[in-house]
């Protein structure tokens, strides 16, 4: 009978969040800055606002009597649209800060140049300022707004005399046309309403995204605590479980034999002392393994095989370049397998082999022991800990065993781990 444990995608996602949560404080903001802080709905709302502002500017062009008399009005309008469309299409929210600065400055500078030639309205200027609030720090966007407002005001002041003179020389009915004024008022009113509604939508979406992020942060913190608790339980079981069980048996035996067979009782006490020393050595070895940056998985497995075990161990392993965490997890899996074989299998030969395949590494641990029935419930943490460790690596755990036929464990670890 074969038991296959595939990768749990939810566990992989949770572990990814956990790894992000445990990043150093100096590294975490750099990684988070790569994530787009604006949702898809906000991008769509900003796009609608920009297109509306562009349309209102085009309307202002055709409503300007001075531009209507220009023989190149259509060509100038097309040039105006072509100048602003790149700023509307491009949304550099995930670009470096200096590129976002250049983007906003060029966009507003284009508005100021177009305004100097009376080809735009202030709605487009306000739209790019609003967009800049998502790209730049607040102080920077306020500084940019003040600078360009000063430049635009100076430009308008230099042109106001020419505008008044042009109006006096022209037919005032072109400027004081009641239908034109009514249409302009209605367009301005509806434009302001749409702008406010879309701005309110953006603010609401931002609040929802912020609340969702806070809930997700709480879930990540809770998950991190649970995962850390499970990790500690696995490590305690791997390093102390078997030694403490044997120690308890020897102490209990010494208590029973103390009065009748003091020599055997003393032997049990001596063995208990040896087991306690071995448990301390195991703890030191586990902590040293986790802290060593030059940990060699192959050497560690050979060291496990050379311990004083009641069976013969044949090792033929070779691993590709693995991370320290992956190497330690595989080391604990092999250690747990040997402990289980020693406690339950009654085997006299164990084989540990590894094969490098295209998509990763295949590790096999086989024994010629008595095997067991997979359908029967089994107490303890051994197999469960091994499965969880394999899932942490994003791999697959395959257990094949039958009563009287030994046990074979196959573990596949993808190269991405």
Q: Are residues 154 and 18 in the same domain?
A: yes
| Torsion sign, CA atoms 274, 279, 283, 286 | positive
- pLDDT at 184 (0 to 100): 57
Burial of 345 (0-12, 13-18, 19+ CB in 10 A): buried
| 5 contact partners, CB below 8 Å, separation of at least 6 | 387, 390, 391, 396, 397, 398, 399
Residue 57 token pair:
């500017």
| 272 contact partners, CB below 8 Å, separation of at least 6 | 247, 250, 251, 254
**DSSP secondary structure string for all residues of 256-299:** HHTTT-HHHHHHHHHHHHHHHHHHHHHHHHHHHHHH-TT--HHH
Q: Are residues 7 and 54 in the same domain?
A: no
- pLDDT at 383 (0 to 100): 82
State how many domains the chain has. Answer: 2
Query: Is 99 inside any structural domain?
Result: yes
Q: Are residues 92 and 3 in the same domain?
A: no
Q: Are residues 84 and 170 in the same domain?
A: yes
Three-state DSSP state, 347 = coil
Q: Are residues 5 and 51 in the same domain?
A: no
Q: Are residues 216 and 313 in the same domain?
A: no
**pLDDT 10s digit of each residue in the chain, 417 long?**
444 444 443 344 344 444 443 344 444 444 334 434 556 666 777 777 778 777 777 776 666 655 555 666 677 777 878 888 888 888 887 788 888 889 888 988 888 787 777 666 667 777 788 788 778 887 888 888 888 878 877 777 776 666 666 666 665 555 555 565 565 556 655 666 666 666 666 666 777 777 888 888 888 777 766 776 676 666 666 666 666 766 777 788 888 888 888 888 888 888 778 778 777 776 776 666 555 567 788 988 888 888 767 889 999 998 888 887 788 889 888 988 888 888 888 899 999 999 988 888 999 999 999 988 887 776 556 788 888 888 888 899 999 998 888 999 999 998 876
Residue 354 has a CB neighbour count (10 Å cut-off) of 22
Q: Tell me, what CATH number does 339's domain have?
A: 3.30.565.10
Residue pair 81/57 in contact by the 8 Å Cβ criterion: no
Residue where one domain finishes, among candidates 220, 239, 265: 220
d(CA 77, CA 88): 16
- pLDDT at 14 (0 to 100): 41
pTM for this predicted structure: 0.43
Residue where one domain finishes, among candidates 187, 220, 253: 220
Q: Are residues 34 and 130 in the same domain?
A: yes
- pLDDT at 17 (0 to 100): 40
Q: Which of 369, 374, 309, 379 is nearest to 345 (CA)?
A: 369
Query: Is 194 inside any structural domain?
Result: yes
Query: Is 113 inside any structural domain?
Result: yes
Q: Are residues 6 and 26 in the same domain?
A: no
Q: Which of 14, 5, 62 is nearest to 216 (CA)?
A: 14
Query: Is 169 inside any structural domain?
Result: yes
d(CA 211, CA 6): 34
Q: Are residues 156 and 91 in the same domain?
A: yes
Q: Are residues 214 and 313 in the same domain?
A: no
Q: Are residues 5 and 63 in the same domain?
A: no
**H or E element that contains 3:** strand 2-5
Query: Is 254 inside any structural domain?
Result: no
Query: Is 318 inside any structural domain?
Result: yes
Q: Are residues 67 and 102 in the same domain?
A: yes
Ordered alpha helix ranges (H), 258-413? 262-291, 297-305, 324-340, 382-392
Query: Is 122 inside any structural domain?
Result: yes
* Full domain range(s) for residue 26: 14-220
CA distances in angstroms from 151 to 112, 115, 157, listed in the order given: 8, 11, 10
Query: Is 177 inside any structural domain?
Result: yes
Residue where one domain finishes, among candidates 177, 197, 220: 220
């Amino acid at each position: 009978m074969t038991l296959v444990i595939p990768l749990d995608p939810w566990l992989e996602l949770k572990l990814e969040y956990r790894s992000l949560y445990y990043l150093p404080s100096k590294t975490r903001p750099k990684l988070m800055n790569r994530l787009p802080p604006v949702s898809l709905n906000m991008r769509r709302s900003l796009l609608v606002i920009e297109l509306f502002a562009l349309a209102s500017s085009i309307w202002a062009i055709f409503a300007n009597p001075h531009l209507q008399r220009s023989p190149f009005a259509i060509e100038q309008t097309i040039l105006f649209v072509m100048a602003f469309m790149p700023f509307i299409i491009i949304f550099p929210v995930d670009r470096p800060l200096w590129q976002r600065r250049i983007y906003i400055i060029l966009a507003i500078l284009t508005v100021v140049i177009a305004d100097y030639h009376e080809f735009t309205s202030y709605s487009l200027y306000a739209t790019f300022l609003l967009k800049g609030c998502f790209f730049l720090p607040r102080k920077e966007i306020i500084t940019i707004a003040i600078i360009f407002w000063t430049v635009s005001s100076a430009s308008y002041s230099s042109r106001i005399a020419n505008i008044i003179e042009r109006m006096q020389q022209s037919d005032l009915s072109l400027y004081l046309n009641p239908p034109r004024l009514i249409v302009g008022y209605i367009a301005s009113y509806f434009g302001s309403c749409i702008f406010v509604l879309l701005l309110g939508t953006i603010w609401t979406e931002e609040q929802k995204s912020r609340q969702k992020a806070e809930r997700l942060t709480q879930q990540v913190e809770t998950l991190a605590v649970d995962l850390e608790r499970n990790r500690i339980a696995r490590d305690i079981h791997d390093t102390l479980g078997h030694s403490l069980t044997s120690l308890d048996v020897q102490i209990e035996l010494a208590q029973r034999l103390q009065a009748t067979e003091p020599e055997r009782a003393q032997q049990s006490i001596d063995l208990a002392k040896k087991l306690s020393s071995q448990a301390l050595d195991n703890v030191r070895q586990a902590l040293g393994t986790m802290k060593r940056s030059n940990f060699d998985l192959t050497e560690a497995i050979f060291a496990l095989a050379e311990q004083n075990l009641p069976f013969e161990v044949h090792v033929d392993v070779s691993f590709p370049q693995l991370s320290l965490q992956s190497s330690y997890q595989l080391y604990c899996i092999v250690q747990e397998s040997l402990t289980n074989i020693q406690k339950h299998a009654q085997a006299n030969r164990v084989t540990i082999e590894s094969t490098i395949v295209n998509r990763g590494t295949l590790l096999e641990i086989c024994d010629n022991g008595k095997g067991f029935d997979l359908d029967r419930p089994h107490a303890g943490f051994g197999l469960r800990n091994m499965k969880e460790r394999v899932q942490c690596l994003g791999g697959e755990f395959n257990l094949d065993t039958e009563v009287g036929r030994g046990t074979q464990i196959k573990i596949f670890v993808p190269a991405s781990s």
